[in-house]
Amino acid sequence: MIGSEGLGNVFVGPSCPYGMIKPGPDNDLNANSGFTTDMSKPIYGFSQVHVSGTGGGAKYGNVSIMPISGDFETIKQESLRENEKVALGYYGALLKKWNIQTEITTSDRAAFYKFVFNSNTKNAIKVDLGRYLDESIIPDGREAQQFVGSQVEVISDTEVRGHTKIRGGWNNGGTYTVYFSAVFDQPFTSFSTWKGEKFFPNEKNQVDNGKKTGAMLFFESLANKTVNMKIGISFISSLKARENIDNEIPHWDFNKELAETQQKWDNLLQRVEVEKEASTEKKTMFYTGLYHTMLMPVDRTGENPLWENDSPYYDDFYAIWDTYRSSSPLITLLDPKREIDIVNAMLQIYKRDGYLPEARSGNSNGRTQGGSNAEVVIADAFVKGLEGINYKLALEAMMKDAMFPPGGNEEKEGRGGLVDYNRLGYVSTDYVRSGNRTLEYSYNDYCLAIVAKGTKRKGEYWRFIKQADNWQNLWRDIEDNGSRGFIMPKDSNRKWVDSIQCAATNGKISYVPYTPLAQDWPNCVCWWCGVFYEASSWEYSLSVPHDVAMLIKKTGGNEAFKKRLNTLFDKQFYNVANEPSFLSPNLYHWIGRPDLSNDRIHQIIDKNYNSSRNGIPGNDDSGAMSSWLAFHMMGLYPNAGQSYYLINSPYFKQTVIHQENGKDFTIKAKNLSDKNKYIKSVTLNGKAFENAFIEHSDIVAGGVLEFEMAATPSKTWGTKQVPPSKSDQIIEE
């Protein structure tokens, strides 16, 4: 339940790892996961598709199931709940209004519901295809889901099939269709389907004519009060949804299914073994972090309605802007075959849809926030040696992002503002989000260059490694809060923009100065229309993951940079609740002060993360926040797209990564205690290890990384060789 309250927005309900079906309670139409822990909000149904941790407009919430007793006059039915119980692969609650106990477990594509009816009145199960999250009365409301059509078909007295078609949602995607089949362990005694608001007793079919439909299935006499239901979903057909049930849950044993799902998780989660003596709090935080990271993207291999299913297919990249930083690297570390499949799925999406995904959901590329960050995911896979990926095709896909403007829609896929970027070397204020787009494209270009170099494409390498410096075109030598140099907006005539128009009260248009702390959105302009997306220049100006050395130089050297970082954190210009500054607490490493990174990271975690329902400080964003935490608890943090991890003090005395290749990598922290929080010295396989960063290949090889912990920082460790930067490296010819 970590992250189920506050901003976390995590999905509550059972799911398999990367599971396609995510059945869970809905009691808030506008909640991203459909759910709020608020016990005063009645549950109106249990729907089968959800996402986890997202923000903005909601998505999914399809095929809503509701057990009810007594009153069947109206389609809408809701009840408060009590005795709620949430466990791995399990959700259970009592619907108070009718005294119905509901339990849910799941397999990958089919869910198992157990309903115990305790009322002596008539009982029924409602299958509602007209409900979904974030329904809007405004046609084509931005980010809202729009109803397209639905169908229900009573196949027999133990099976109902159908589908629901919805479009829109947060990523403004095209229409997606969720097919389902629901089977029961005993016959319903009668039924009534509906279309619109009208019930049709005993009418088996309601054809899709663009109307809301559903079925009310009546169980008039129950032998043991219990009805078991299995529901399969599919994106291909309702018959395939039925096949998914038969393939995955060919029995009626709830506990057996629950155990199998838990076993799937155990197999994955046990790949990291922390010391048994660690506190439950820490272990809960850590393993929940892993769990959240492995909820999305979802594995829909075989379920792609758009093209052939002869290769892996994943959906709900939501969004790569969030997940490229730590989620993908965590999957690569713990579940590399999975990451290979995910990257291959991304390449198929490029091949068929024309662009790599950024915020893909409901089988639609549909939204970008800043960069074309699939480049980072691909480079990360490449530099970490993931095999079985066609990197030539990957380079082609990345170059499509970098060279072809996405056309009329500058926020759907590819790179919005690319015409500016390629002509001027930056995105001008003619486009929204010009600041973070320029920064992100620079890094995306770096990642592209790395893959170009590795695949022996020198021409492309030189072009894009040069473009990787484009962030410098928006670097303005101004001072703010004692620090010099910020990424600032520039217009298409290459003039700095000093003030921006801001609609004001009383009908007067006013201009506000644009400063590094300015936040033009959402007050002056729309949420996604500012110079920077969801953060200020203070945060974004530090976001140059490929060339921190140059950033330090431009800031005025190590001391000035240290001061700048201190200001960022001390004056709370840093936003713990979002991704743009994920790497920032680690930047002290580049001035040879890993101890200061350490201080900041532990402060951030200890203050903002815990095992409570409110234990994630921002939208978990498909596990982005959770994976950031999990990495840091192990003492490692990736710089995604590059081959190394930064080393920080771990939260565990021992962490063993049981790698997929069979080789264990052990991280030990000798003498770790609340007091002994600094790394004094390090050995790798018994040999002294001077750097505060370690290569992925060192981990893959297996071995032991041992920290000697102390109460005071080391004066030498991590000071001689700082982590790599583009401008420090000799560019090979």
Residues that bind its own copies (rule: CB under 8 A) add up to a total of 40
67 vs 173 by CB, closer to its own copies: 173
Please say whether the dihedral angle defined by the alpha carbons of residues 161, 164, 165 and 169, taken in this order, is positive or negative: negative
86 vs 236 by CB, closer to its own copies: 236
In whole angstroms, the minimum distance from the beta carbon of 567 to its own copies comes to 42
Residues 308-337 that bind its own copies (CB under 8 A): 308-310
239 vs 502 by CB, closer to its own copies: 239
Are residues 296 and 52 in contact, defined by beta-carbon separation less than 8 angstroms? yes
Burial of 73 (0-12, 13-18, 19+ CB in 10 A): exposed
Are residues 435 and 537 in contact, defined by beta-carbon separation less than 8 angstroms? yes
Stretch that binds its own copies, among 141-149, 335-343, 623-631, 669-677 (CB under 8 A): 141-149
Applying CB under 8 A, among 405, 454, 592, 703 the residue interacting with its own copies is 405
Applying CB under 8 A, among 114, 163, 554, 564 the residue interacting with its own copies is 163
- Does the footprint of its own copies cover residue 210 (CB under 8 A)? yes
Residues 6+ apart with CB under 8 A from 169: 57, 58, 59, 60, 133, 134, 143, 144, 145, 361, 362
Please say whether the dihedral angle defined by the alpha carbons of residues 163, 164, 165 and 169, taken in this order, is positive or negative: negative
The values of phi and psi at residue 647, to 5°, are -100, 130
308 vs 570 by CB, closer to its own copies: 308
44 vs 441 by CB, closer to its own copies: 441
- Does the footprint of its own copies cover residue 302 (CB under 8 A)? yes
274 vs 345 by CB, closer to its own copies: 345
407 vs 557 by CB, closer to its own copies: 407
- Does the footprint of its own copies cover residue 577 (CB under 8 A)? no
Stretch that binds its own copies, among 90-98, 303-311, 468-476, 577-585 (CB under 8 A): 303-311
- Does the footprint of its own copies cover residue 354 (CB under 8 A)? yes
Stretch that binds its own copies, among 117-125, 232-240, 440-448, 553-561 (CB under 8 A): 232-240
14 vs 149 by CB, closer to its own copies: 149
Q: Which residues pair with 123 in a beta bridge?
A: 69, 219
The single residue listed with the structure tokens 């101004």 is: 478
226 vs 247 by CB, closer to its own copies: 247
Selection from 471, 450, 472 nearest residue 461 by Cα:
450
Residues 361-400 that bind its own copies (CB under 8 A): 400
- Does the footprint of its own copies cover residue 250 (CB under 8 A)? no
State the binding string over 260-299 for its own copies (x if CB under 8 A, else -).
----------------------------------------
- Does the footprint of its own copies cover residue 623 (CB under 8 A)? no
- Does the footprint of its own copies cover residue 136 (CB under 8 A)? no
Selection from 376, 329, 387 nearest residue 644 by Cα:
329
Selection from 75, 71, 67 nearest residue 222 by Cα:
67
401 vs 539 by CB, closer to its own copies: 401
Applying CB under 8 A, among 7, 86, 88, 148 the residue interacting with its own copies is 148
Q: Which residues pair with 82 in a beta bridge?
A: 94
Tokens in use for 404?
A: 């072809």
Question: What is the 3-state secondary structure of 662-731?
Answer: CCEEEEEEECCCCCCCEEEEEEECCEECCCCEEEHHHHHCCEEEEEEEECCCCCCCCCCCCCCCHHHCCC
Cα separation, 687 vs 681, in Å, equals 11
Applying CB under 8 A, among 48, 123, 146, 584 the residue interacting with its own copies is 146
Cα separation, 184 vs 588, in Å, equals 59
Are residues 600 and 574 in contact, defined by beta-carbon separation less than 8 angstroms? no
Applying CB under 8 A, among 74, 221, 408, 505 the residue interacting with its own copies is 408
In whole angstroms, the minimum distance from the beta carbon of 347 to its own copies comes to 14
Sheet-wide strand order for 198-201: 24-26, 45-47, 64-69, 123-128, 213-219, 190-195, 198-201
Selection from 287, 329, 117, 340 nearest residue 219 by Cα:
117
Are residues 412 and 406 in contact, defined by beta-carbon separation less than 8 angstroms? yes
Stretch that binds its own copies, among 25-33, 406-414, 470-478, 709-717 (CB under 8 A): 406-414
Interior angle at CA 3, CA 572 and CA 56, nearest 5: 75
Are residues 317 and 358 in contact, defined by beta-carbon separation less than 8 angstroms? yes
- Does the footprint of its own copies cover residue 305 (CB under 8 A)? yes
Applying CB under 8 A, among 143, 208, 341, 460 the residue interacting with its own copies is 208
State the binding string over 696-725 for its own copies (x if CB under 8 A, else -).
------------------------------
List interacting residues with its own copies (CB under 8 A). Answer: 146-149, 151, 153, 163, 165, 167, 174-175, 177, 205, 207-210, 236-237, 239-240, 242-243, 302, 305-310, 354-355, 400, 404-409, 414
